[in-house]
């Protein structure tokens, strides 16, 4: 019977290791089918993927295009399309980063107005989902930062490119955002009022009126100011607020106990 020694064990282990390493070279390498594609070919295939809803695949191709052909119109267009693809993939942070990068690199690009619009749209749609779901949520707990950023971006668009094809839509969205932000402020004022924090309620309602002077929510803002000042015994300020309210909203439903429908204005559509 042969003797089993430590040396033979070590030799066998070395032999097995060598065979395994040698075998690795026999495995087929993964082939990149896009190797050798032109910038136009990569762009066309990425666009085709997007049209079929394959946004992840499109993003990979746009990244390859920009890496292989960093200069020229296809690379620039790929940056725009990547931002849109991230947006459609619900990757808001990446979409905003891509849009900001393009604006910084190409501030004078003929399509930069679209990138501003897309950036505003990302924030707008993200916040729209928040505002649309307020029926069972406390609006005072929400951060309206996204709405403000959307407003600022749309404002940049209409200020810098007033003749842009996207300007009119941006203006309409800005009006919606003004109403939404004003409603947020009034909701917070109502929150304070219901908890007896009358000074905070009056100040928040006053801020809504000052910041968003034409918003529909200002009817309730004035009403909250009247009620808050009355609760504080500040009759002069109460009467001033009441005078302004009756002048601007002579037929206000708040004179007769408030709206019959308790839904806020954005849910009445």
Q: Which tens digit of pLDDT belongs to each residue from 124-151?
A: 886 555 444 444 454 445 678 888 999 9
Which tens digit of pLDDT belongs to each residue from 96-133?
999 999 999 999 999 999 999 999 999 988 655 544 44
Answer yes or no: is pLDDT of 54 > 60: yes
Q: Is residue 99 part of a domain?
A: yes
Domains in the chain, number? 1
In a domain, 59, yes or no: yes
Domain assignment present for residue 155? The answer is: no
Domain-embedded: residue 114: no
pLDDT tens, position by position, 168-202: 999 999 999 998 899 999 999 999 999 999 999 99
Q: Is residue 14 part of a domain?
A: no
CATH code, domain with 57: 1.25.40.10
pLDDT of residue 239: 95
DSSP assignment of 16-74 equals HHHHHHHHHTTSPPPP-TTTT--HHHHHHHHHHHHHTT-HHHHHHHHHHHHHH--SSHH
Residues in the chain: 269
Rounded mean pLDDT, 234-254: 94
Q: Which helix (H) or strand (E) holds 110?
A: none
Q: What integer is the mean pLDDT of 230-251?
A: 95
Residues of the domain holding 83: 35-108
- Please indicate, yes or no, if residue 43 is contained in any of the structural domains: yes
* Residue 89 belongs to a domain: yes
The answer to whether residue 13 sits within a structural domain is: no
């Amino acid at each position: 019977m042969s003797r089993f020694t430590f040396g033979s064990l070590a030799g066998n282990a070395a032999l097995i290791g060598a065979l395994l390493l040698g075998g690795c070279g026999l495995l087929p390498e993964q082939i990149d089918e896009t190797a050798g594609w032109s910038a136009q070919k990569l762009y066309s295939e990425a666009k085709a993927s997007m049209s079929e809803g394959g946004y992840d695949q499109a993003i990979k191709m746009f990244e390859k295009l920009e890496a292989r052909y960093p200069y020229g119109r296809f690379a620039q267009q790929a940056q725009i399309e990547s931002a849109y693809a991230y947006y459609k993939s619900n990757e808001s942070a990446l979409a905003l980063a891509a849009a900001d990068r393009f604006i910084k690199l190409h501030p004078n690009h003929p399509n930069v107005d679209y990138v501003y619009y897309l950036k505003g749209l990302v924030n707008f749609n993200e916040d729209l989902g928040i505002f649309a779901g307020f029926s069972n949520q406390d609006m005072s707990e929400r951060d309206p930062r996204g709405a403000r950023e959307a407003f600022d971006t749309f404002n940049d668009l209409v200020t810098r490119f007033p003749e842009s094809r996207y300007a009119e839509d941006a203006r309409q969205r800005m009006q919606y955002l003004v109403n939404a932000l004003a409603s947020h402020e009034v909701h917070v004022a109502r929150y304070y009022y219901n908890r007896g924090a009358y000074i905070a309620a009056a100040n928040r309602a006053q801020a809504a009126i000052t910041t968003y002077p034409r918003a529909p929510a200002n009817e309730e803002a004035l009403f909250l100011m009247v009620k808050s000042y009355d609760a504080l015994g500040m009759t002069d300020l109460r009467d001033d607020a009441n005078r302004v309210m009756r002048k601007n909203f002579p037929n206000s439903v708040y004179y007769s106990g408030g709206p019959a429908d308790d839904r806020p204005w954005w849910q009445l559509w």
